Amino acid sequence: MSDSTASPGAAPPAQVPLWRQLQEAAGALAQIRAGTSGTVAFAAVEPALRPGVQALGFQALRWLGRAEALRRQLARRTPPPVADALLCTALALGWNPELSPYEPFTLVDQAVEAAKRNPATRAQAPFINACLRRFLREREALVAATDPEPVAQWNHPRWWIERLRHDHPRDWRRVLAADNAQPPMTLRVNVKKVTVPLYQQALSAINLVASRVGGSGLQLATAKPVQQLPGFAEGEFSVQDGAAQRAAPLLLEGLAPGSVAQPLRILDACAAPGGKTAHLLELTDPASTRVTALEVDAARARRIDETLARLGLQAGVVVADAARPADWWDGVPFDAILLDAPCTASGIARRHPDVRWLRRESDVEQLARLQAALLQALWPLVRPGGRLLYCTCSVFRAEGSQQIEAFLARHTAARLLPSPGHLLPQSGAFARGLPDNPDGDHDGFFYALLEKTAVR
C-alpha cells in the first residue's frame, strides 16, 4: 500500500443528485464494515460516480468515530447495517458545519431521499429522518455529549489510540490529527525522461502550483486526476508520497556502482505495485544494474509490469514468495535488497482511511512475525559489504524500531547505517513550517538501512 496513487478526484458530474452519491458512499461503508477493503469497495462504484462518491466516503471514514458516537446518542438500538451506514455517513459529513461539503439541511434532506429510494433502507427512512432532524435541532448538545469519548474525539479505534500514545508519547495527538487531514498529491518526476525544473514549468503552464520535495518530487497545491497532468501517458511522472520517495535514494547512496561486466544486483522484495522498483531504475544505469522485482501475488505482479511499461523501464519481474528463496533465488548474492514489508499501513491511514477500521490489534503482532520472517529469509542473500533497506508504511514501533532492534540482537554481522527511522505523518501548515522536512506534507514511514559487515 505504501506506493499508493490514491488522490482526491474531480467533483462528480453536476447532474448526479446528492442522494445517489450518498447511497453509494453508504454502500461502500457497509462493505468496509463487513471486512472489504476500501479500494475494492470504491472500485465497484460506477466510474462516472466514483470520484465524488470516494471523496464523500473518505470524509465519512475519517469522521466515523464521531458519527458512531452520535448515532448511539440518537438511537437506542443499532439499525440494520445498510441503514446504519447511511445514517452514519450523513452524521460524519454533517457533524461539523465548518468541515461539511454541503449545508447540513441539504445533507439531511438528501440522506432521507437516499433511504426512500433504496429498497434495503426504505422501511427505515422515517427512523433516519427522525434521527437526522433531531440532530439538526440538538447538534451542539449531542456533539458535546460525545466529546469525552476518545474514539469520537480522534476517530480511530481505541487500541490504535493507546498504541500510538505508548509508542510516540510526545507526538500521538499530531499523528492522529494528520490522519484526519486530506493528503496532498505528490509526484515523482521520471528523471530518465524530463528534469524536475522542466516538469515544474509544464505544470505552471497549466496554472498548477507545485513545490519541490526530496530529490525528484513535486507536491501539488491542488490535486488533479493524473490523466489531466502533462506527460502521464508518456511516463514523465508517477504519483508517490514524499516519504516513500526516500527508499530508492537511501538504498543506492554510497553503493559502489556496477559495470557492464559485473552489474549491480538489486532485489525489490514485495515490490507491487512497482513504484519503488521504478524509482530504483530511474536512478541507475541499465547497462550496469540488474533489478529484480519480486511479488507473491500474480495479479499484483501484473501491476508492476504495467507501471514499468508506462515509464519505459525494464526489470525482471518474478512471481514468488520472498520468504522462500529456495523457490526462486539463483544462489548469486545481491548487492542491495529493498524490503518494503507487509504491514498494518498505519502510516497511510489518511490516504486509506478504511485501514483504521479494518485493522485489529492482533494484526500488529501477526504482521511483525511476518516481517521478522522476511528479514530472516532475505538477509543471507546479501553479499558481504552489501545492504538491506527495511521499510514499512507504519507508525507502530513493533513494525519499525522494535523489529530492527530484535534483528540486530540476533545478527552480529549486521550494522545499522544512518537511517531516518520513524517518519511520522506531517500535515498542512505544520509540515511546511518544519526546518528539516525535505519530504513536505508526507505519510508515516519507517526506514532502517542495514549493512552486512562480515559473514559469521
Give the containing element (helix H, strand E) for 107.
helix 104-117
* Separation CA 26–CA 196 (nearest Å): 41
C-beta separation of 193 from 206 below 8 A: no
Cell 556496477 sits on residue: 258
The catalytic residue among 131, 270, 391, 393 is 393
Residue 174: phi and psi, rounded to 5, are -65, -40
Handedness of CA 339, 192, 208, 440 (dihedral sign): positive
Cell 538489486 sits on residue: 266
CA nearest 75: which of 26, 130, 152? 130
Q: How many CB atoms lie within 10 A of CB 184?
A: 24
Handedness of CA 93, 98, 99, 103 (dihedral sign): positive
Amino acid at 257: P
Whether 393 is catalytic is yes
CA nearest 29: which of 5, 56, 49, 47? 56
Rg (CA), the chain: 23
- Give catalytic residues, as residue numbers: 393
